[in-house]
Amino acid sequence: MTFRFGLISRIALLVVGIEVAAFGALGWFYIDRYTAAADERLRSRLRLVETMITREELPVSVISRKELVSDLLGAPYVDGMVVGGSGRVIVAADPLNLGRPAQDVAGIDVRWFADAAPNHQFVQGRDTLTSVAHVHRTTDMAAVYFTVLTISTAELQAQKRSIVLWGEAGSLLFILLSSAGVVLVAQRLITRRIHASVAVLKRVEEGALGERIPVASDDELGQLQHGINSMTEKLAALLEQQRQATDDLQKQTELLQSVIEHAPIRVFWKDGDSRYLGCNTLFAGDAGFDRPDELIGKTDFDMAWRDQAARYRADDRAVMASGTPKLDFDEPQTTPDGGTLWLRTSKVPLLGTDRRVIGVLGIYDDVTQRKRDADELERHREHLEQMVEERTNELSVAKEAAEAANVAKSAFLANMSHEIRTPLHAILGMANLIRRSGVTPAQATQLDRIDVASEHLLGIINAILDLSRIEADKFALNVAELNVGAIVNNVCSMIGDAAQAKGLRVLVESDPLPPRLLGDATRLRQALLNYAGNAVKFTERGSVTVRARAAQEDAEAVLARFEVSDTGIGIAPEHVAQLFNVFEQVDSSSTRQFGGTGLGLAITRRLARLMGGDAGVTSTPGAGSTFWFTARLAKAAGHPPAPAPREAEPEAVLKRDYGGLRILLADDDPDNRYITQALLSDVWPKMDLAADGVEAVELASRNRYDIILLDMRMPRMDGIEAARRIRELPGGKEPLILALTANVFPENRRQCLEAGMDDLIPKAAKAEAPFAAILEGLRRKAR
Ligand code: ADP
């Protein structure tokens, strides 16, 4: 280890410099003092001698005596003279100079003797010192003579030089020795320890981070070494940390690389100039390369897809400029063999650590197959659309046909209803007339049979009509305040005769329901009667139990539950499911045994659903069945209506109060005309008859009637039109006009009312129905 101008050399140089400066200054000072003292001593001797001469304590002649003067001065006397006032030498150490003018003597300067010159002065020569003194006359102070004494200073000079020489030599020696000493001591105290430290540092630098500098002393250097040691320790820890971080980073990088590598998509990333910075192997494969690094630095213009490069670059630029991703767009890509792939690409801006956009990251999926499939699908879709359109056209034709058929069906039902009701009306009417005319008990029983058969037929017609109207969504409930208990009792009494005939007991197990409920009493009765009738029909022994209770109740309504249990034949489980379907009976043999149409349960369930409930059955074959249905009945608000007072039969009331009224009856069917006339003849023996609407209007314009009964269906002019015209006649508002009709749908009633009629009387109804309707109409009119 060599120290070129190392620390010690510098210290040594410093020491030498300081010593040189110190010794130089000190030496110079002492030499100067010493020589100045020597000079002064010489000069004072010179002055003393001169003074003694001028004061004549010594004779002037002494100047000529060299040895004497030399002794007096203690210095070699070189020359001396006395120059008189005349300017000539009057006494001289050198006899040759005697009597010579002063200016001719070598080494004499006559300016020394000028009046202006000082009375005494020293003149320093090279190796000489000359003292010049003026001697004046005491009287007028005129110059009498001048003394000049010159001594040699060569010896003094030589003495001075030797002192300087020896001083310098001594100092130099001292300096060298002291410097060497300092260096040696510093070497011992500092350099070795520094060298040792440096050696350790070198080893640390080479990687031996476990090395430590041995610290021998606690001085400043020792502290420095301690500092270096602890720094090394910290460095080691720091390096360990860094190594770990680097390891982690490496692992993460590898993981990331592996993720990118194994992701089943193409990944690439480019710099701000759209140069590839990296990609995964899948992407490299698309570009026709084996390894991702082969792409680095290339652009899309270097790729097989250079024909698409401009578009790709435009996208890159747009993404980088906006800083927002462009996601999931389809684009084509040319393959190395010239084919075309379809890609679903996403590009996102690549951000640097300072959040500035430094490039673009892209991923894409090869959707060529998907696109092909989608195209195929699109073709199919178009085909399908075409097919659907064709089908829709066909369907709309079919729908029109169906609608037409539906209209036809409704018309058929209306007609059928009318056509069956009309003869039924005649049958019932005739039977009624026969009964009124007085019959034997046997004939009365026969007439009862006619009634029962007709009622049955009427029931069937009504059932068919109900069902078709429910299915056509035309069915409307007639909601009014009702009494559930009364309905139950009513039904029980209706089946009472039949049950009694079979020896069955009829039981009622009703919990009281809240009073004042709203519902369609007719339809509830109908539904319950269906069950009760069936129960009697399919039970040979035992009983039929009718129940009514509230299954649920809230502030607004009650869900009433009606049940009819029997001890009859029951129903096999496999039949239960279909039971409530239209025309469904347990088996066709039951039709032969029990009769029936299979409509009752279907209607009951539909009615129950219309009323916000449902219907069902639980049954055990051989043991009996329980049929149930529920209906939501709203609670009535306000005051209950006053109960109608019990009254005599309408027919009797009419006879008593309205016997004198004039009546017009219009009906095209002579049988019906006859029956109606005969029925009403007890009250009104005389009435005008018309065979159609035209005749009716004609009669009404000529006469004033109180009551006009119009058949709905008549040739030439129907009842509706006739009513309308009658109402337009003068005084036409007065009469009570009632329709006679076998068509009892709500829309028929509406039609009648719109035409100005007051109400309608259904044909084929109970014999007392017309009286009740007429009485009710008259009373309403009177009000
Ligand atoms: P119908 O009684 O007019 O045939 P329903 O719809 O009222 O039509 O009844 C359908 C079928 O359900 C009946 O034919 C019968 O097979 C069965 N059924 C109905 N009620 C009972 C009952 N209480 N016990 C046994 N079977 C019944």
pLDDT tens-digit series, residues 20-74: 888 888 888 888 888 888 888 888 888 888 888 888 888 888 888 888 888 888 8
**Residue 167 vs residues 26, 37, 175, 179, 370: alpha-carbon distances, Å:** 10, 18, 12, 18, 110
Residue bearing the bigger pLDDT, 296 or 195 = 296
CA atoms within 13 A of residue 149's CA, in its CB half-sphere:
34
Determine if ligand 1 sits within 6 Å of the CB of residue 64: no
- As a whole number of angstroms, the distance between CA 453 and CA 441 comes to 18
Q: What pLDDT digit, counting tens, does each position of 102-157 carry?
A: 888 888 888 888 888 888 888 888 888 898 888 887 777 777 888 898 888 888 88
Work out the average pLDDT over 503-526. Answer: 88
Q: Is the CB of 600 under 6 A from ligand 1?
A: yes
Angle, nearest 10°, between helix axes 746-754 and 719-728? 30
C-beta 529 within 6 A of ligand 1: no
Q: What is the pLDDT of residue 3?
A: 42
Statement: residue 475 has pLDDT above 60: yes
Q: How far is the CA of 585 from the centre of ligand 1 (A)?
A: 6
Higher per-residue confidence, 230 vs 769: 230
Tell me, using a 6 A CB cutoff, whether residue 564 lines ligand 1. no
Q: Please name which of 541, 548, 532 lies closest in space to residue 493, comparing C-alpha atoms.
A: 532
Ligand 1 pocket mutation, candidates 585, 603, 604, criterion most atoms within 8 A of CB:
585
Helix (H) or strand (E) holding 218: none
Q: Which of the pair, 386 or 769, is modelled with greater confidence?
A: 386
Contact 92, 80 (CB under 8 A): yes
Instruction: Calculate mean pLDDT across residues 211-231.
Output: 86
Rounded Cα distance, 669 and 621, in Å = 51
Instruction: Determine the average pLDDT of the residues in 358-363.
Output: 92
* CA–CA dist 722, 741 (Å, integer): 14
Which spans in 263-286 are helix H? 281-286
- pLDDT of amino acid 531: 94
For 417, the token pair is: 């209803």
pLDDT mean over 426-441: 82
pLDDT band, very low/low/confident/very high, at 595 (cuts 50, 70, 90): low
pLDDT of residue 733: 85
Residue nearest to atom 21 of ligand 1 (CA): 534
The whole-number pLDDT of residue 145 equals 87
Site to substitute for ligand 1 among 495, 530, 534, 545, most atoms within 8 A of C-beta: 534
Does the structure show a pLDDT above 50 at 590?
A: yes
Give yes or no for residue 586 CB within 6 A of ligand 1.
yes
Percent of the chain with pLDDT strictly greater than 90 = 23
Question: 508 has which bridge partners?
Answer: 546
Residue 274 Cβ inside 6 Å of ligand 1? The answer reads: no
What is the pTM assigned to this prediction? 0.46
The rounded distance, in Å, linking the Cα atoms of 403 and 77 is 173
Which run of H or of E encompasses 635? strand 624-635
Distance, CA 123 to ligand 1 centroid (Å)?
A: 175
Say how many Å lie between the CA of residue 62 and the centre of ligand 1.
Answer: 194
Give the pLDDT confidence of 228-260 residue by residue, as tens digits. Answer: 889 889 988 998 999 999 999 999 988 888 888
Which comes out higher in pLDDT, residue 593 or 410? 410
Look at residue 568 and give its three-state secondary structure: coil
**What pLDDT is recorded for position 428?**
80
Query: For residue 2, what pLDDT band results from cuts at 50, 70 and 90?
Result: very low
How far does residue 549's CA lie from ligand 1's centre (Å)?
Answer: 23
Q: Which residues contact 288 (CB under 8 A, 6 or more apart)?
A: 304, 335, 336
For residue 694, what pLDDT is reported? 92
Enclosing H/E stretch for 330: strand 326-334
Ligand 1 centroid–CA 586 distance in Å is: 7
- Interval 550-577 mean pLDDT: 90
* Residue 676 Cβ contacting ligand 1 at under 6 Å: no
Residue 91, strand partner residues: 82
Across 11-15, 101-105, 281-285, 359-363, least confident range: 11-15
Place of tokens 């005051």: 639
CB of 618 closer than 6 A to ligand 1? Answer: no
Tell me what pLDDT residue 1 has: 41
Read off the pLDDT band of 271 (50, 70, 90): very high
Q: What's the mean pLDDT in 7-24?
A: 82
Kindly give the pairing relationship between strand 480-482 and strand 624-635. unpaired
Q: Which atom of ligand 1 is nearest to the CA of 579?
A: 12
- Cβ–Cβ < 8 Å for 627, 563: yes
Q: Which of residues 369 and 138 earns the better pLDDT score?
A: 369
433: buried, middle or exposed (CB in 10 Å: 19+, 13-18, 0-12)?
Answer: middle
Residue type, 325: P
pLDDT at 134: 87
* Sequence-distant contacts of 99-107: CB under 8 A, at least 24 apart: 105/81, 107/79, 107/150
Residue 534 CA: nearest ligand 1 atom is: 20
Q: Please give the average per-residue pLDDT across 571-585, as a whole number.
A: 77
pLDDT tens for residues 447-461? 888 887 787 787 778
- What phi and psi, each to the nearest 5 degrees, are found at residue 6? -75, -175
Contacts of 671 (CB under 8 A, 6+ apart): 426, 429, 430
Measure the CA–CA gap between 578 and 592, rounded to whole angstroms.
Answer: 19
Q: Of the candidates 580, 586, 566, 559, which has an alpha carbon nearest to the alpha carbon of residue 495?
A: 566
Give the per-residue pLDDT at 220: 83
Q: Percent of the chain, pLDDT > 70?
A: 95
Mean confidence (pLDDT) of the chain: 85
Reduced 3-state DSSP string for 89-149: EEEECCHHHCCCEHHHCCCCCHHHHCCCCCCEEEEECCCEEEEEEEEECCCCCCEEEEEEE
3-state helix vs strand vs coil in the chain, percent to 5: 55, 20, 30
Q: How far is the centre of ligand 1, averaged over its atoms, from the C-alpha of 505 (Å)? A: 19
Task: Give per-residue pLDDT as tens, 155-175.
Answer: 888 888 888 888 888 888 888
Dist CA 618 CA 569 (whole Å): 13
